[in-house]
Structures are given as C-alpha cells and as structure tokens.
Structure 1
Amino acid sequence: MHRSSRRLLLQASASSLLGLAIRPALAQPAASTLPKGNITLVVPFAAGGATDVVSRLVAQKLGERIQRTVVVENIGGGGATIGAAKVARAAPDGHTLLMGTIATHVINPLSMAQLPYNAQTGFTPISLIATVPNVLLVHPSVKARNVQELIALVKSQPGKFSYGTSGVGTPPHLSGELLKSMAGLEMGHVPYKGGGPAMADLVAGHIPILFDVLTGAAAHIRAGAVRTLGVTTRERVASFPEIPTLAESGVAGYETWTWNAIFGPAGMPRPLVEELSLALQAVVALPDVQARLKDLSATPVGSTPEALTTLVRTETEKWRAVIQSIGGLKRD
C-alpha cells in the first residue's frame, strides 16, 4: 500500500502547473459586460481560514479595478459543498461568483456519492488565482518536534490522537488520510467548518494536531503559537525555508497541495467571462498582490478560463488515483 501510494504520488507530481502561467491575450470587450451593483464572492468555508484570507484580498483589488463592490460571503459546512451549491444555483449574470478550491471541484466529486452540484457542468471557470501548500502543525504541548517523532508518538498510543482540518473532503483532510495510510497510523479526524475555527482550537489546545493550508497558518507560525513539523509539497517553500517537507522527513513520496480559483455559475456569457478573467489576471499581476500572496506562502498564477478548465481535468485524474490508493476517503 505504501509503495503504491508513493508511486502514484510521484506520478502525480508531474502535472504541469507551469503551463498555466502562459496566458494568451483575450480580446478586451468594447463595452463592459459586468453586472450593475454589488458582486458576491462566495467563500465555501468559515471566516479566518486560508481561502477566506486570499478571497478578501482578491475581492478588494477586483472591486477597485472593475469599480464595483465585491462582497465576500462565507458559507461554510458540508466540506465546502453548501457554498459551492449556492453558486451553482445562482443566475449566470456575474452577480455571484465562487472562490473554488481543489475540494469543491476535485476531491468532493471523487469522494461524495450525493453531491449537490455537478463540478464539471455546474460552473463556468474564470481564472486560477494561486496554488498553495498544506502544512502539518501540532500544539506546543505535543511531545514531538519533527514528523518522525510524531509518527512514533501516535504509534505508541493507538487511537489516542486526533487531527483537525477545515472539513471533510478538504485538501488538509486528504493530507491527513494520506499520512495515516503511508505511515500506518491510527488517528481520528475532527472536521471543522473552516481553517479559522480549526486553528483556534489548535492554539487553545483542544486538538493536538492540525493539517491546514499554509496561507491560513502563516501568521500563527510566525507568531510561534504552534509548532510546525512539515509542509506537504515536494519542495520546501520560499516563505518558510526552514520547514522541511514530509517527504524529506521520512515519508518518501508524500505530496499534496491545494489551489484557489474563481468560478461562476454555468452558462455565463463569454464576453462577461473574458472581462472578469482579464480583470482577475490583472489583479493577480499587481506587485502588492503578488507580494501579499507570496507572504502567505501562495504561488500567484492568474490564468485564462481555458487553463483553469485544464487544471480541473488534470487534477481530477491525479487525485482519483491518489484517493483510490488510500482506499477512499472516510466521510465521518
């Protein structure tokens, strides 16, 4: 099982995210096709988490660029399905957008029998915003200072430890299940409605272990409120070069990550999609947005709708193999 998981993950790492940075110019509409009035950006997680942090940055800058008020609405719960379903049901007029993630468009469709939306046909891809590592954290009271010590500790007391995440079926949840499978651990899963509540409970000592998205955890790591054991990507991240990867910490072949991307409801007019995509690409290219995303340990992208469509397709195939290799995701 472990060798198979490593092989599949190594194959998965070959996905060409670099190609997404190649953004051919789109024809600028002669007149604005944007809706009048406010635009709502639905974040399918609770406030304070990683996706929320990125969303509020993008919403502010997008609003300034298109001269509209872009309001962030947090709709957590259901492993991000509740918020995503609301956008899928909305009118395709540009008033309602979704900050989608690998959870809403890849993991949930692969692991949920009853999904309240169709990830392939229920949305209009607009632009990939950024890619983000996940991170393994523990409360300072946990007597483990690295990944191998944590594995040994959990194995010595089977069933005693549990780990928190931003919800069932989210990238951090998959990260935890993959570690359990590859290291042979018995750990319970404590799902929250977002990374913010989960981090609050880790800092307070209510849960001992947390898998989180690095953008949401960065401030707590810098403040020394938690102990960081490893990042989940194949290579270390530039913003925290001192943090080792799980792969180099003894879990060979381990690799997971997430991403943030803007989608609208299915059926949006092409000129509207192009105008929003161009605006979002311009927002991500702003020096202060680039700096802020990198400070949050996210890699800025800003892509065409076609590149985002390709990403969802390739990520679906990659994670299908990974989820199958660990025997599926258990929905608590």
Structure 2
Amino acid sequence: MSTTEGLSRRGFLAGASALPFVGAAGSVSAQAPFPTRPISLIVPFAAGGSTDIVARLVGQKMGELLGQSFVIDNRAGAGGNIGSTAVARATPDGYTILMGTIATHALNPAILKTVTFDAVKDFTPISLLAVVPNVMVVHPSFPAKTVPEVIKLLKDNPGKYSYASSGVGTPLHLSGELFKSLGGVSMNHVPYRGAGPALNDVVSGAVPIMFDNLPSSAQFIRSGQLRAIGVTTKERVSSFPDLPTIAEGGLAGYETYTWNALFGPANLPRPIVDKLNATANAAVKDPHVKQRLEDISAVIVGSTPEALGEHVKAELAKWGPIAKASGAVVE
C-alpha cells in the first residue's frame, strides 16, 4: 500500500462530521465575486524553509487559477505564533489566510507559555495540502543499525547517548520524545537553533542521533554520511522504498510527520471556504506542483475542510500529552 493510500484510509481525504461555520449564512452569496483583489498568504516562519517553499508553490498556482495574486507574507517568530495570531485576528473575508503546520496547530498550544489563540475555535480549516515524513538518522559510527538494536543499546546505556533537534518544542524534538516514551529508553536532548546546525553536528559525529525532516537528510543518507534507521510515517516512502518505518522496525504505534495546511480566520463564509478548498486541491494536483512537492518527499493530500478540522483535533490529542511530558516551554 502506498503512503498516500494509507493517509487516505486514515481519513485525511475523506470528510468527517461537518464543522460549524458560524456566520456563514447570509454573509456572502454563493454568487458573490471572490476574489477581487490579491490574497495575503501568511507564512509564520522565515523565508526559505519547507513551509515557505510549499506556500510559494501552492500560492502561485492558486493565484493563476483564481486570477488574483497570492502575496506571501513571512511573519516569523515564537515558533509560528506571531503569524498564526495575525490570521486568527484578521477579518474573515478570505483575503488573509494561513499556511499552518503541526507546530502552529498541534504543538504550540501545549508548549507556549502564553497562548494567544485557540487552534480549533479561532480558525476555519480549508485544506490539508501535504504531509512530509521525518526520518531517524544516526552517524555511521553509531553501533546500532536497526530499531531493535537502537532500543537495546539505549536501554543498556541509559543517559549515554544524545539526540539533536531543531529546538525545544519543535516537531523534531518531540519526535525524539515520542521514541523515548514508546521505547522506554533514555536519551539526552541537545536543542539547536534550527535543523541545519543540528544536522551538521550529527554528520560530523558531535551528536550521534537526530530525527530530521527527510528532505534535508536525504542527500546525506544517499552519500553514506548518515545512516537511516527508519522513516517516521506509518507507511514507507517512495523516495526510499527499502527503508523500513520505525513502527515496522519494532516500535509499534510510532508515527510522526510534519504537515502543511491552509486555514482562514474563524467564521470564514462557507462559499469562500469551498472556493479556496477547490482551488488549493487543484493546485497540489497540478503536475508541476505535484512533482516539486514529491521532489521534497511530500505526500500530496488535498483534503476537505472537515477532514482537516478532525485532523487538527486528533493532532492536539496526540501531541498535547507528549509535549507536556517533555517539559518543553517556549516563551
């Protein structure tokens, strides 16, 4: 079974129970023209990262399909909290939307010292666009080569080994915490200011283990500078078909990934939601966009608004306890 088929079966592509779109009735006619001016797509992270790349790819195609440009507005800071808050407080007219992620809508509510929005109540879900797998990598000198060997080594040497991450409370940090929790093992967490510096230290051997986004580790895996232990998704990925998942490697129930999704402010009228949803889903299935996303190991989704809403709730339920147990707190 392919990854896409697996994701579909788990409900990403199928709609769930309808979410309330309060205030939609009567606020916008189905015949009302939209859009009539450029749309601001807020990316709550710095330019150049994977979320920014997805936003520019999808935004450009959506603009072509709608006949209005999508202006990418990078508002980085506080782990995505600044940009997300701006959208939560924006006028619900469809002209300000968010490229949300697992960080903004599943992790931040659990780790931010001050929460300035409700991930469910303050947003209107539009579409889950794509899912990007993570991968567990180790330096070639690391003694273990499989998930069972890693778990045994860590259990036999509690506290001896460390893993690097892109920072406290990030998806990569909590991927490691989930591995510790399910495997009953001990590892020291070494946070960095970004995935790049962390990856460099794992390649050099300064830190032996890392959970990374697969796209950024792929070249090092192929060159032999890193050894991949397993991908973190439920199914194997097409770019590394011989690489087992961590779950099938012996850690049942393990599954992490990053994702990108479009959200509007709460109470976004349903006709606008439907138009943005249809356009976004057409954009990710465009041959050029699809190929570019697959080049970075992304799995194309293109969900209903309802499926994205249920996905966010499931992610909050999954990651909240893990984040709290990790003790991660971000100012």
TM range, smaller chain: 0.7 to 0.9
Q: What's the counterpart of residue 136 of structure 2?
A: 136
State the Cα deviation string for residues 101-156 of structure 1 (Å, max 9, x = none).
22322233345563121111221211110223221122345444333443444445
- Distance change in 2, residues 1:274/1:192 (3 Å): farther
One-letter amino acid of the counterpart of residue 268, structure 1:
L
Q: What's the counterpart of residue 116 of structure 2?
A: 116
Report if the CA contact (8 A) 1:76-1:194 is conserved.
no
1:255, distance to aligned residue in structure 2 (A): 2.3
User: Using the alignment, how far apart are the partners of 1:197 and 1:70 within structure 2?
Assistant: 32
Q: What's the counterpart of residue 172 of structure 1?
A: 172
Tell me how many residue pairs correspond in the alignment.
310
Where does 1:72-221 land on structure 2 (aligned, <5 Å)? 72-112=72-112, 114-155=114-155, 157-192=157-192, 194-203=194-203, 205=205, 207-221=207-221
Q: In structure 2, the residue corresponding to 1:17 is in which secondary structure? A: coil
1:98, distance to aligned residue in structure 2 (A): 1.6
Report if the CA contact (8 A) 1:46-1:193 is conserved.
no
- Distance change in 2, residues 1:76/1:243 (3 Å): farther
- Distance change in 2, residues 1:287/1:14 (3 Å): closer
Q: In structure 1, the residue corresponding to 2:172 is in which secondary structure? A: helix
- Distance change in 2, residues 1:62/1:269 (3 Å): same
- Distance change in 2, residues 1:17/1:289 (3 Å): same
1:283, distance to aligned residue in structure 2 (A): 0.3
User: Using the alignment, how far apart are the partners of 1:76 and 1:140 within structure 2?
Assistant: 35
Q: What's the counterpart of residue 327 of structure 2?
A: 330
Using the size of structure 2 for normalisation, the TM-score is 0.78
User: Using the alignment, how far apart are the partners of 1:263 and 1:158 within structure 2?
Assistant: 42
Q: Percent identity?
A: 53
Where does 1:1-332 land on structure 2 (aligned, <5 Å)? 15-20=10-15, 30=31, 32-34=33-35, 36-37=37-38, 39-42=40-43, 44-112=44-112, 114-155=114-155, 157-192=157-192, 194-203=194-203, 205=205, 207-222=207-222, 224-319=224-319, 323=321, 328-331=325-328
User: Using the alignment, how far apart are the partners of 2:31 and 2:324 within structure 1?
Assistant: 52
User: Using the alignment, how far apart are the partners of 2:73 and 2:226 within structure 1?
Assistant: 28
- Distance change in 2, residues 1:138/1:68 (3 Å): farther
User: Using the alignment, how far apart are the partners of 2:139 and 2:15 within structure 1?
Assistant: 37
Q: RMSD over aligned Cα, in angstroms?
A: 3.3
1:240, distance to aligned residue in structure 2 (A): 1.1
Q: What's the counterpart of residue 25 of structure 1?
A: none
